[in-house]
Amino acid sequence: MQAHSDEMRRLGKKIVFVPTMGFLHEGHLSLMREGLRHGDYLVVSIFVNPAQFAPGEDLDSYPRSLERDLDLVEKENAGAVFTPRDSELYPGGFQTYVSLEHLPLHLCGISRPTFFRGVATVVSKLFNIVKPHIAVFGEKDFQQLLIIRRMVRDMNFDINIVNAPIIREPDGLAMSSRNAYLTKAQRPAALSLYKSLLSAKELVQNKIIDAARIIDESKKIINSHMETEIDYINVCDPQTLDDLPVIDRTALMALAVRVGKTRLIDNMLLTP
C-alpha cells in the first residue's frame, strides 16, 4: 500500500482517504463522494480495528460483508481498497499507542476508556500506510472527528481533514453499521435518539436555553421506550467538549443510548 501510494503521488495524484470498519452504508458512501470533491485518487480502508474494542464489546459479532463492500466501493470510483489482516496491523510485539490527554475524557470516552486510544492509534497507522493528502471523517462520530483533527495538528500529520454531515435513514435514524443489530420492534426506541435531538432543537428555537431542562426533556423521550438505557446525554462546547450549562452560543448535543444490546450514538449542533 505504501509503495502504491508513493507511485500515485509520483504521478501527481491527490490521494483522498476514507477509513471505515466496513458493512458500508450511504453514510460511508457520502464520505467517499465528498472525498472525490477534494482529491482525485480515492483510497478506502476496511478494517474492524481490534484495538478500539474493549473485552466484552462486539468485536466478534461486528457485522462484516467484504464482497458487498468491495462492489460498493468500486461503484464509488475508488482507486484502491486497503483491507489489512489484524496480524498485519498488530503483529506480535506491538506496543506503541497514540493517546490524547483531554478530549477522550468526555462523552464516549467515559464508558469506553480505551476506545479513542484504539482509534487514534489505528488512524495514525493508516495515515502512515496510505499517505493521503486528505482524509474524510463523518460528523456522526463528532468526538472522533475532533480527536483526529487534534491529533493531526499535535503530531504534524501533513493531511487535511474534511468532515461530512450525518446521513440518516428516511425516518431520521442516523445510519450505522450497528443498526443491523436492531430488531423491528426496537426501531422506535432507536429513533428516540433523533427525536430527542429534534425536541432539543425546538426548545432552543423557543428560547429555552437551560441545558439541564433540555437534557431532562430528552431523557423523558428516550425513557418512554422499552429497552433503552441512556449512557450519556450532554450539551457541550463543540471544540473542547466541556459541559455548557446554558446554550448562549452554538452547542453540541451528543448522546449514547443502549437499545437492547446495541449501543447507538447521535448528535446535533444547537444554535440559539
The residues assigned a catalytic role are 28
Buried b (16+ CB within 10 A) or exposed e, 110-120: eebebbbbbbb
- Choosing from 16, 21, 73, 200, the residue that interacts with ligand AMP (CB under 6 A) is 21
| Residue among 89, 101, 5 at smallest CA distance from 51 | 89
| Residue 262 binds to ligand AMP (criterion: CB under 6 A) | no
Q: Look at the block and give the residue holding cell 493521503.
A: 132
137: Cβ contacts below 8 Å, ≥ 6 apart: 19, 31, 144, 145, 148, 161, 162, 163, 164
Binding-residue pattern over the window 102 to 141 for ligand AMP, x denoting contact by CB under 6 A: -----------------------------------xx-xx
Query: What's the closest the beta carbon of residue 229 comes to ligand AMP, in angstroms?
Result: 21
- Residue 92 identity: G
Query: What's the closest the beta carbon of residue 267 comes to ligand AMP, in angstroms?
Result: 11
Closest to ligand AMP by CB, 164 vs 215, is 164
Residue range at the interface with ligand AMP (CB under 6 A); choices 5-13, 21-29, 85-93, 220-228: 21-29
DSSP for 186-236 reads GHHHHHHHHHHHHHHHHHHHTT--BHHHHHHHHHHHHHTSTTEEEEEEEEE
| Residue 256 binds to ligand AMP (criterion: CB under 6 A) | no
Closest to ligand AMP by CB, 41 vs 47, is 47
Looking at residues 139 to 198 of the shown chain, list those that interact with ligand AMP (rule: CB under 6 A): 140-141, 164, 166-167, 174-177
Residue range at the interface with ligand AMP (CB under 6 A); choices 20-28, 87-95, 154-162, 193-201: 20-28
| Residue among 221, 231, 223 at smallest CA distance from 257 | 231
Closest to ligand AMP by CB, 166 vs 241, is 166
Burial of 78 (0-12, 13-18, 19+ CB in 10 A): buried
Sheet containing 228-236: order of strands: 228-236, 251-259, 262-270
Closest to ligand AMP by CB, 215 vs 262, is 262
Closest to ligand AMP by CB, 6 vs 26, is 26
Site for ligand AMP, rule CB under 6 A: 20-21, 27-28, 30-31, 137-138, 140-141, 164, 166-167, 174-177
